């Protein structure tokens, strides 16, 4: 295991079984109690998560669960963290989004931060004292070496010009963890990672938070025109921008999104089962109808199969196992497809009533659509997996020949 891999959270000792079981029970109780009350508040409100919810998550330590103890976190193993993510994901999608992002962004920063940056950015982010928004995606490009936002350096200052969009917490953050390229460069080697102050001059922030689902999570389009950024706010070296963005962050984040699919599917199944047991038609509960019971059985098998794949991917990443990157994509594409099938059947079991916002399944159904593009669409995941399959086959043929 490299130093950077360790800094991104691999190899953590984790909590003892009894301590973890107590934490899991606590999170479960919070999710079905206060978490559900917060869900109702968010949906009934103006479309934004109240700052009081952020404060409560911070106070309870839920924003620092995944980080190592030496940085102020709980030091969970990655598999332990995924089991908690499964529970959080049964709650409101914005609650899941907050704990997912905050418990993951430090993985990108910490391996490349110097001591000063660790104290200024990494620790405060883990503690929940500042909000850092991951800022990679652009309106006219993908999310890799084709980024076109540029910086030019003049002395100890970079000047940033470009645009970003679909930036989660991009409106209410304190810093954007932003990826750009040196002016005139092409490809991966010209990229840089910068922590850009939310109040820096030359920035236009457009709130794009009105979405189909995941109400309460703010999103932004960002436009930069010669925005000054101190060179001291650069993570890593020039040319390491994509290493910061993708190296210790993307693989575990894809697994986390996959587990969020499992948790949300479990919630959909719970709602469908509850409705099937109480809804009576022609003198019988829906649960007694073979068509309904078959849908419930199919959902259960689907959920358990996906959960096993996600936990396998989490274990491989945690232990630095072979093909961990490909397995993260396998987990993501498997869990996303599963969630689509499960929520569709769960809504169908509710009949016409499920279409109304008075039913919790309606929100679950809307929220489930977001995971299909988080951390890359399934089309991207299939590309990653196919590349891995062909590469392994080519190596095997070469060894034989």
Exposed e or buried b per residue across 180-209, where buried means at least 16 C-beta atoms within 10 angstroms of its C-beta: bbbeebeebebbbbbbbbbebeebebeeeb
Place of tokens 């978490």: 35
Q: What angle do CA 6, 2, 331 make, to 5 degrees?
A: 65
3-state helix, strand, coil in the chain (%, to 5): 55, 15, 30
Q: Are 351 and 276 in contact (CB under 8 A)?
A: no
Q: Which of 138, 238, 240, 375 is catalytic?
A: 375
375 is catalytic: yes
Of the chain, the end-to-end C-alpha distance in Å amounts to 32
299 φψ region: left (φ > 0), alpha (ψ -120 to 50), beta (else):
alpha
Q: Are 222 and 204 in contact (CB under 8 A)?
A: yes
Q: Is the dihedral of CA 40, 41, 47, 49 positive or negative?
A: negative
Picking from 90, 100, 40, the residue whose alpha carbon sits closest to that of residue 364 is 90
Q: For residue 45, how many other CB atoms are within 10 A of its CB? A: 12
Cα-to-chain-centroid distance, residue 50: 20
Q: For residue 280, how many other CB atoms are within 10 A of its CB? A: 11
Q: For residue 96, how many other CB atoms are within 10 A of its CB? A: 28
State how beta strands 157-168 and 219-230 pair: antiparallel
| Residues identified as active-site | 375
């Amino acid at each position: 295991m490299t130093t950077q891999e360790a800094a991104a959270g691999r190899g953590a000792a984790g909590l003892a079984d009894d301590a973890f079981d107590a934490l899991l029970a606590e999170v479960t109780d919070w999710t079905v109690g206060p978490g559900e009350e917060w869900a109702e508040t968010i949906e009934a409100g103006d479309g934004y998560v109240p700052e009081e919810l952020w404060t409560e998550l911070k106070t309870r330590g839920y924003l620092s669960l995944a980080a190592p103890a030496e940085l102020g976190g709980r030091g969970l193993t990655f598999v332990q963290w995924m089991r908690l993510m499964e529970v959080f994901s049964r709650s409101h999608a914005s609650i899941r989004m907050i704990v997912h992002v905050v418990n993951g962004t430090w993985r990108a920063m910490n391996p490349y931060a110097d001591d000063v940056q660790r104290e200024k950015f990494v620790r405060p982010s883990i503690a929940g004292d500042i909000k850092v928004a991951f800022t990679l995606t652009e309106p006219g490009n993908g999310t890799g070496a084709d980024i076109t936002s540029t910086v030019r350096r003049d002395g100890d200052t970079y000047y940033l010009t470009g645009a970003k969009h679909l930036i989660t917490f991009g409106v209410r953050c304190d810093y954007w963890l932003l990826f750009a390229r040196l002016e005139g460069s092409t490809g991966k080697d010209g990229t840089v990672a910068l922590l850009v102050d939310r109040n820096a001059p030359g920035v236009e922030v457009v709130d794009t938070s009105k979405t189909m689902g995941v109400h309460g999570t703010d999103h932004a389009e960002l436009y930069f025109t010669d925005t000054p950024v101190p060179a001291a706010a650069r993570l890593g070296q020039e040319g390491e921008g994509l290493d910061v963005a993708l190296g210790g962050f993307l693989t575990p984040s894809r697994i986390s999104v996959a587990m969020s699919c499992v948790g949300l599917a479990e919630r959909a199944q719970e709602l469908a089962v509850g409705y099937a047991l109480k809804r009576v038609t022609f003198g019988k509960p829906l649960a007694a109808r073979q068509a309904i019971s078959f849908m419930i059985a199919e959902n259960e098998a689907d959920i358990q199969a996906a959960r096993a794949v996600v936990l396998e991917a989490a274990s491989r990443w945690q232990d630095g196992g072979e093909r961990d990157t490909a397995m993260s994509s396998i987990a993501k594409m498997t869990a996303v497809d599963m969630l689509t099938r499960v929520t569709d059947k769960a809504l169908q079991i509710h009949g016409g009533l499920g279409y109304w916002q008075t039913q919790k399944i309606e929100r679950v159904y809307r929220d489930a659509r977001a995971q299909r593009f988080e951390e890359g669409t399934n089309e991207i995941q299939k590309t990653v997996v196919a590349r891995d399959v062909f590469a392994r086959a080519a190596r095997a043929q070469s060894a034989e020949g």
